[in-house]
Amino acid sequence: MAGSARAAAAAAAVEHDRFADGAGARAKASDGVPASDGAPADGNRYSPRLTRAAAKPARFVDTRRACVAPGRPPGAEPELWTVLRLLVDTPEVVRPGWAAPRLPLVNEPVARALVVMAHPDDVDFGAAGTVATWVDEGVEVTYCLVTDGDAGGFDDTPRERMAGLRREEQTAAAASLGITDVRFLGHPDGRLYVTDEVRGDISRVIREVRPQRVLTQSPERVWERLPASHPDHLATGEATTIAVYPDARNAFAHPELLADGLEPWTVRELWLSGGPHPGHFVDITETFDRKLAALARHVSQVGHRDGIADLVRGWAVRNAEAAGMPEGRLAEAFQVVPIPY
């Protein structure tokens, strides 16, 4: 990246994180998270935020200006035009693979976040630094582990003890970050598929937790780093994406949930880890030590391996470089999918 472009990208990343801080602060300051249910978006509920987001000038160096739509044409419905303009201004929507830092589209306070991962330790390898920043902002974080990781590990632990051990390790790792709500769905490790049962289980957790933000693994395979695309990761990402849209918000999907009193719920942001299109970088320099401490709790997975800290630091350095952050910074990378309506 050329020097000026790198500087611009660095400024963008900093501005981006500042925005994220602001969103978290607002979440703490206000308990009034907008009502959000399975009903279709209506103008009264969403238009003020959408309109503000569309009208606000970009606060970062934005190479997208060339594709930003011009003013509303005569006769166009204001609300419709706002949505159309946002779609044009959303690289992930119109151009998959776009990798420039940008503001989240859905500018809503985030009070609760749900992290859905295939195995114990996945969140700590890929996202614990970011999750720690959310905790610092006052976001309530829940972990949901789809399997117990009972097919993993390298030590002599008897297989029948592995599931319980890995639950304990993940629970301890979460606690080290201040997270106490950790849920295990208990599906078999290494044999996870996108079934109606898995979709329903994740949808149940979404309706129980009612998060504005869901973080999961990318359902897309990265051919350049095949081990990052474990089939369980892909299945978790796909099932969670389907649970976010449409299952959790659709009152008629998994009718047993409604029968149990779990109302539909609409998630506003989907964060994907470990995928081929990272375009959102979170500075984790200040939380990196906590990430390492959480990782160290997975003794059955990392206890036998030297150099884990260096390995993970290397990833974080490369992410920061890709984001154009100043030298010495560390970052985690995600694809963020806003769900504007």
- Given the complex with Zn ion, which of 122 and 283 has the nearer CB atom? 122
- The torsion angles phi and psi of 61, rounded to 5 degrees, stand at -65, 115
Residue 285 φ/ψ, nearest 5 degrees: -55, -40
DSSP 8-state symbol, 84: H
Of 62-70, 101-109, 110-118, 317-325, the segment contacting Zn ion by CB under 5 A is: 110-118
Q: Taking each helix axis from N to C terminus, what angle separates 308-323 and 288-296, rounded to the nearest 10 degrees?
A: 150
Q: How far is the CB of 207 from Zn ion (least distance, A)?
A: 25
- Applying CB under 5 A, does 189 fall inside the site for Zn ion? no
Q: Is position 122 an interface residue for Zn ion (rule: CB under 5 A)?
A: yes
* Nearest CB to Zn ion, comparing residues 257 and 333: 333
CA distances from residue 137 to 28, 30, 55, 332 in whole angstroms, order as listed: 7, 13, 26, 17
The C-alpha atoms of residue 106 and residue 124 are separated, in whole angstroms, by: 26
Residue whose beta carbon is closest to Zn ion:
119
Q: Which is nearer to Zn ion, 122 or 332 (CB)?
A: 122
Nearest to 273 by CA among 222, 224, 317: 222
Minimum distance from residue 68 beta carbon to Zn ion (Å): 39
- How many residues bind Zn ion, per CB under 5 A? 3
**150 and 120 in contact (C-beta within 8 Å)?**
no
CB of 189 to Zn ion, least distance (A): 9
CB of 165 to Zn ion, least distance (A): 16
Beta carbons within 10 angstroms of residue 158's beta carbon: 7
CB 120, min distance to Zn ion, A = 8
In 173-309 the beta strands, taken as DSSP E runs, fall at: 181-187, 213-217, 269-273, 280-283
Q: Is the bond into 120 cis (omega within 30 degrees of 0)?
A: no
Q: How far is the CB of 180 from Zn ion (least distance, A)?
A: 22
- Pick the closer one to Zn ion by CB: 108 or 189: 189
CB 269, CB 336: distance < 8 Å: yes
Which range touches Zn ion (CB under 5 A), out of 119-127, 167-175, 185-193, 285-293? 119-127
CB of 118 to Zn ion, least distance (A): 5
CA separation for the pair 20, 71 (Å, rounded): 28
Residue 166 or 254 with smaller CB distance to Zn ion: 166
Greatest Cα pair distance, the chain, in angstroms, is 72
Span near Zn ion by CB under 5 A; candidates 88-96, 121-129, 188-196, 239-247: 121-129
Q: Which of 119, 254, 280, 298 binds Zn ion (CB under 5 A)?
A: 119
| Residues 167, 145: Cα–Cα separation, whole Å | 9
Q: Measured from the CB atom, is 8 or 146 closer to Zn ion?
A: 146
CB 82, min distance to Zn ion, A: 40
- How far apart CA 123 and CA 273 sit, in angstroms, is 9
**Contact pattern from residue 81 through residue 100 relative to Zn ion, giving x for each residue in contact according to CB under 5 A and a dash for the rest:** --------------------
- Residue 120 or 200 having the CB closest to Zn ion: 120
Q: Which is nearer to Zn ion, 26 or 119 (CB)?
A: 119
Q: Which stretch binds Zn ion (CB under 5 A): 22-30, 111-119, 129-137, 252-260?
A: 111-119
Choose the stretch contacting Zn ion; rule: CB under 5 A; options: 112-120, 182-190, 249-257, 262-270.
112-120
262's CB contacts (< 8 A; 6+ apart) are 204, 207, 208
CB of 233 to Zn ion, least distance (A): 6
In this structure, what DSSP letter does residue 297 have?
T
Nearer to Zn ion, 89 or 232 (CB): 232
Binding site for Zn ion (CB under 5 A): 118-119, 122
